[in-house]
Structure 1
Amino acid sequence: MISISIVSHMQMNLVINLLDDIERVCKLEKIEVILTLNVGESLDLLKYSFPLSVIKNNRPKGFGENHNQAFKSAKGSFFCVMNPDIRLTDNPFLPLVRCLTEGVDVGVVAPVILNDSGLIEDSARLFPSPVSIFSKVISKLFRKSALSRPVSNKSYEWIGGMFMLFKVDTYSMVNGFDERYFMYYEDVDICARLTSMGKLIVLCEESSAIHLAQRASHRSLRHLRWHIISMLRFFLSSAYWRVLWR
């Protein structure tokens, strides 16, 4: 069974669209969905063919804490972290599970992520560094896009947290996400810790999903502040220094 963890931040319209996609494209898959309502919102969900459990937080929690909380009630052999702004056109899980189980020492896999125009997002990357962050800012100033680059079934250093699939044993072994990150860089950190354990971070080219890219840090000073704090926390962390000097 695949346990899918979805967290809603007043995003019920997106959640319902995603649940409808899962119902439509994953009919042959044995799955369960654990939906976390991070802030107070009404819930009127249709019945689905898969088990759906709901967690209602009494206070807002961060990305990692929410998914770790969902993991505690997961019943599957695989644990999937999925953003509510993901859309599915085909079943992504058959090739993902194959990549995860047939590869040697694979720690986490992800599908190729497309934007809503069908272009490939740069969701699989090398670990960030102060130099790479500066280069990214410069490239944006000159409007150089990282979209639509070639992809292959190969190991990257980290993959974006909008869609990640783990074996339950691996997620447990790495102790899940580091809850000291409230938002941003949790995906980078967990991939760094997996790498330091000898695990591979794999992008599966046979699987894809659409990401509607609700990038709050581009619009909100509060989210930008969280982004900067998380970035600095990662650069000062033992996880970063272990992979830097490996």
Structure 2
Amino acid sequence: MKEKLDITASIVLYNENLEELTKTVDCFLSIPLKKKLYLIDNTPQMCFKGIFNQKDIEYIAVGKNIGFGSAHNKILDILKQTSKFHLILNPDVSFKLGVISNLIKELERNKEIAMIAPKVLFPNGKHQYSCRRYPSISELIARRFAVLKPMFKAVILKGEYRERDLKEPFFAEYITGCFQLYRAEYFVKLNGFDERYFLYMEDVDICKKIDSLGKKKLYFPQEEIVHVLKQGSSKSAKLFLRHTSSAIKYFFKWGF
């Protein structure tokens, strides 16, 4: 049997900023571990073919936009054979050398942890509040409409664990999907993301699935990453409808 890689990662590509993507790729390739990065291209024109040719990168052209979760799941069979740890990575994330290795050490200390994620910052250094409680319908609606935010401020703050000391690690209900580091065997056992979600809510859903396995998700703020965060559904009617559709599927699956 082929020797396993220390870590694999997958990035789903669609309308990406090439400068941001290159920075993300370079951050991953700098990790001093045996690794492989899978670039999964959802563009019909295979826009990213031939751009990254480093030996630790494998390019996969899907040929059409199949959505976030479905694209990440394209390598599930590969992970069964090759990977100890697997990173779900957004194309607009950067991090310092040592972040991945330190997160892996935490995963290795506790076999009950299926997934770990660091503190997430905006490029200006502000906190993104990436660890959350499972959302209510009222919270999701309030987050999408600025006029409602003052009325639902307490609900939003509670959803972001604002009452906690977020400088300390803890087991969060869910952690947003820009950077999720899994023990690969658990990601495979979960069958990856639920492909009924084209975009949005798949990160919340997979955290629910981790609960169903009896495993945990650790928020670990001793390590930090930077995430640009496009917030597309707040700016695009099409993406807003995608988000709404995913939210409806989520609540029908897990309950209101």
Normalising by the smaller structure, the TM-score range is: 0.7 to 0.9
Confirm or deny: 8 A CA contact 1:8 1:15 kept in the other structure.
Answer: no
Q: 2:12 aligns with which of 7, 14, 21?
A: 7
Q: Is the 8 A contact 1:6 1:35 kept in 2?
A: yes
Instruction: Deviation per CA, 1:61-112: give whole Å up to 9, x if none.
Output: 1111000003333321111100001011333212211222212411211111
- Look up the match of 1:58: 63
Q: Secondary structure at the match of 1:84?
A: coil
Letter in 2 for 1:36: I
Deviating more after overlay: 214-223 vs 8-17: 8-17
| 8 Å CA contact 1:124, 1:159 repeated in 2 | yes
Is residue 206 of structure 2 the alignment partner of residue 190 of structure 1?
yes
Q: Could you tell me the TM-score, scaled by structure 2's length?
A: 0.84
Letter of the 2:103 counterpart: L
Provide the C-alpha distance between the structure 1 equivalents of 2:67 and 2:141, rounded to a whole number of angstroms. 27
Q: What is the CA–CA distance in structure 2 between the aligned matches of 1:45 and 1:135, rounded to whole Å?
A: 40
SS for the counterpart of 2:199 is coil
Task: Give 2:35's aligned residue.
Answer: 31
User: Are the counterparts in 1 of residues 139 and 152 from structure 2 also a CA contact under 8 Å?
Assistant: no
TM-score (norm 1): 0.87
Where does residue 140 of structure 1 map in the other structure? 149
Name the structure 1 match of 2:218: 202
DSSP-derived class of the 1:73 partner: helix
Is 1:108 the counterpart of 2:108? The answer is: no
Percent pairwise identity: 25
Uncovered stretches (5+) of structure 2, i.e. residues with no partner: 1-5
Q: Aligned to 1:127, which of 111, 130, 134?
A: 134
Q: Distance in 2 between matches of 1:143 and 1:197?
A: 32
* Superposition deviation, residue 214 in structure 1: 1.5
Deviation at 1:206, TM superposition (A): 2.1
The corresponding residue for 1:45 is 51
**CA–CA distance in 2 between the matches of 1:216 and 1:128?**
19
User: 1:182-239, CA deviations, whole angstroms, 9 ceiling, x for partnerless residues?
Assistant: 00000000100111221111111222110001221111101000001101111110xx
Distance 1:170 1:211, change over 3 A: same
- The one-letter code matched in structure 1 to 2:91 is P
Distance in 2, matches of 1:106 and 1:55, equals 29
Shift of 1:148: 11
Query: What is the CA–CA distance in structure 2 between the aligned matches of 1:3 and 1:42, rounded to whole Å?
Result: 19
Q: Which residue of 2 aligns with 1:78?
A: 85
Cα separation, partners in 2 of 1:46 and 1:189, compared to 1, 3 Å: closer
Kindly tell me the number of residue pairs found equivalent between the two proteins.
237
Q: CA separation in 2, counterparts of 1:47 and 1:59?
A: 22
Are 1:230 and 2:246 an aligned pair?
A: yes
| Residue 110 of structure 2 is aligned to residue 94 of structure 1 | no
- In the alignment, structure 1 segments of 5+ residues that lack a partner are none
Show CA shifts across 1:44-76 (max 9, x none).
43554x511000111111111000003333321
| Structure 1 residues 214 and 108: CA distance shift in structure 2, 3 A | same
Q: Superposed, which structure 2 residues align to 1:158-173 within 5 Å?
A: 158-173=174-189
2:26 to 2, 15, 20: 20
Name the stretch that deviates more: 140-149 or 228-237. 140-149
Q: Which moved more, 1:201-210 or 1:68-77?
A: 68-77
